[in-house]
Structure 1
Amino acid sequence: MGRHKPKKKRRGLKIFLVVLLVLVAGIGAYGYSIYHNLSKAANAVHSPVDRTPEVKRSSDLELSKREPFSVLMLGVDERAGDKGRSDTMIVITVNPKLKSMEMLSIPRDTYVEIVGRGTQDKINHAYAFGGVEMSMNTVEKYLDIPIDYYVKMNMEGFQDIVDAVGGVTVNNDLDFTQGGHHFAVGELNLNGKEALNYARMRKNDARGDFGRQMRQRQVIQGVMNKGANISALWKYDDVLKALSKNVETNISFDEMKSIQKNYADARHNIEQIQVEGSGGFIGKVWYYFVSDEERAKIQDKLKEHLELK
């Protein structure tokens, strides 16, 4: 694997939340009031995207029939006058029959075709060029699978969500210090600020961006586990407020209810997938290159999980 060229790091956290499971966890358990507030929050974050898919299904996805589906997670640092880049891109496939999820982190510097631009560039530039639509189309063509849904999070507000669910628990395999916080090896309970620093560290890890991606996925799983725990509903109002301010998705409230009903068990068995490649320069710009063989291997794995083969 090539060595990443050092670069100035954005200050936003480079991870985000699997919001669909958190929003609908325990629906109906506390009666109409919570149901009403969940509906209101779901409508607030709902933002449909109008696009022509690069990879089409043979028939429309039916969640009521427990068909496997995919989600593109985008972690974006947005500032005034700057649309931002999706420095975190995670594709999740969910198969309820296997009761499993596959979680693929796509390195932000991966050299790909940017669909709609007719150029080759870093995959995270797709968001800067064309927002959610171009990101979905680019990832869809690169992986050769349908991307059914997206969840976009403004990472500046992520620590509020971690705090709202009562923090997260992770298993750390590397002793390091980041942002004034020391992270020892072993099981750690992290609040929002600690989770932000834990997941953003890259320079002191010999694995570079891959180590950071692993920590990102750990925090995502931690939020999922806390958000889907019935005890988190005691603070549901804080959770919903944090989500409403920082999340957008094309998943409707009815679809969220169907996912909660038919797919919730899948979160207990998550396989993390790493993209193998090498780094190098084109001119003075550093990219991450993935071979055709590696790309085909990942495509086949995701297609099998989505029951498309």
Structure 2
Amino acid sequence: MSRKEKHSKKKMSTIKKVLLSLLLILVVITAGVGIYAYSIYNNVNNTSKKIHKDIKKTDKRKEVVSVQKKQPFSILLMGVDHRKGDKGRSDSMILLTVNPEKKTTKMVSIPRDTRTEIVGKGKQDKLNHAYAFGGVQMTVDSVENFLNVPIDYYLEVNMEGFRDIVDAVDGVDVVNDLDFTYENTHFKKGAIHLNGKEALSFARMRKMDPRGDFGRQLRQRLVIEAVIKKGASVSSLGNYQDILKAIEENVVTNLTFNEMVSIQQDYREAASNIDKIQITGKGTKIDGIYYLQVPDEERNYVIAELRNHLDLSVGNNEE
């Protein structure tokens, strides 16, 4: 079996399953009508300004990417666990590369325990520790270094406040494939309804899942997909202010409003064809701490896939 065949690549119906808050913003733009739509548009525009925060542009491109020119781009989605008294860690990291000409999107889930260089700290550590050391910038720099691709955009979601987003859409419905109890809540197999607190617990559990971090990433995607489904429904329009308020308090991105609109308008075909790539490796303990060691063969395979998809030369850091 070839290296490529070993990868599980599952086509997903829409980019909405990943870009939680970006598409929650965009969907309310397209869902409204008449004067009501104009009011929603202005509110969404204001929200996009409040959640916008720039980072240093990548040095892996000679020129800044332009979605207005329909160029391939990448975006790193981070689910950050902010708890009281803790700066937080990026417990969920998903990198998307989007190519409108090829009409495809690639989605790479990056295991949080991946051992790699933390850029700016000068040491090897778990990749999710980069956020605790240096926030979004250090996380982006470290993922760029690990996968040797430019990261053009990021979107950070505060998982602790994620309950507010779920509650804003009056809860979500998911199909659970693992019976477990976590944080005093029992989650049975099958179709279940979750409020904000339950959804957060459902998305957080990891140690009781035989799939470990991979199982948790699956449940996080289930919740995100369910939020989008509820947020896109006509019944949620009367609730859009609560949704925007939850986004303002729990989401940060360097995407501008105009870039969001361009992506929504010009990248639809790419969004309908998503390939999922799961980075794999071998679990090991170093000084009593668990890490995921990713073999060079695995890492180089993923690098080649992503750079080719971004129309970049394989083996080079720049266009």
Name the TM-score class by shorter chain: 0.7 to 0.9
Q: Report the counterpart of residue 45 of structure 2 in structure 1.
A: 39
Give how far 1:250 is off.
0.6
SS at match of 1:105: strand
How far apart are the structure 2 equivalents of 1:66 and 1:233?
30
Calculate the aligned-residue CA RMSD, in Å.
2.3
SS at match of 1:109: coil
1:226 to 214, 223, 230: 230
How far apart are the structure 2 equivalents of 1:54 and 1:218?
34
Which amino acid is the alignment partner of residue 128 of structure 2? N
Contact 1:166 1:191 in 2 (8 A): yes
Contact 1:110 1:287 in 2 (8 A): yes
Q: Report the counterpart of residue 21 of structure 1 in structure 2.
A: 23
Q: Report the counterpart of residue 78 of structure 1 in structure 2.
A: 82
- The yes-or-no answer on 1:294 pairing with 2:298 is yes
SS at match of 1:38: helix
Give how far 1:93 is off.
2.3
1:129-177 C-alpha deviation (Å, 9 max, x unpaired):
1111111111011111111111112221101112223433433222223
- Equivalent positions of 1:65-144 (< 5 A) are 65-79=69-83, 81-97=85-101, 99-144=103-148
SS at match of 1:140: helix
Contiguous gaps of at least 5 residues in structure 1: 1-15
Number of aligned pairs? 292
1:232-259 C-alpha deviation (Å, 9 max, x unpaired):
3331111100000111111111111112
1:7-61 C-alpha deviation (Å, 9 max, x unpaired):
xxxxxxxxx9621111121415333211111111111101111x252422x5432
Give how far 1:266 is off.
4.7
How far apart are the structure 2 equivalents of 1:172 and 1:217?
12
1:55 to 57, 60, 63: 60
How far apart are the structure 2 equivalents of 1:82 and 1:190?
26
Contact 2:28 2:240 in 1 (8 A): no
Query: Normalization by structure 1: what TM-score?
Result: 0.85
Q: Report the counterpart of residue 236 of structure 1 in structure 2.
A: 240
How far apart are the structure 1 equivalents of 2:90 and 2:198?
22
How far apart are the structure 2 equivalents of 1:143 and 1:34?
38
1:87-142 C-alpha deviation (Å, 9 max, x unpaired):
22221223345554333221111110111222111111111111111111110111
How far apart are the structure 2 equivalents of 1:81 and 1:179?
20
Query: Normalization by structure 2: what TM-score?
Result: 0.83
SS at match of 1:132: helix
Give how far 1:186 is off.
3.2
Contact 1:21 1:264 in 2 (8 A): no
How far apart are the structure 2 equivalents of 1:213 and 1:293?
23
Identity %: 53
SS at match of 1:259: helix
1:308 to 308, 312, 318: 312
Q: Report the counterpart of residue 286 of structure 2 in structure 1.
A: 282
SS at match of 1:113: strand
1:155-208 C-alpha deviation (Å, 9 max, x unpaired):
211011122234334332222232343333334343322221221122222111
Query: Measured at CA, do residues 275 and 17 of structure 1 come closer, stay the same or move farther in structure 2, by a change above 3 Å?
Result: same
Query: Measured at CA, do residues 53 and 59 of structure 1 come closer, stay the same or move farther in structure 2, by a change above 3 Å?
Result: closer
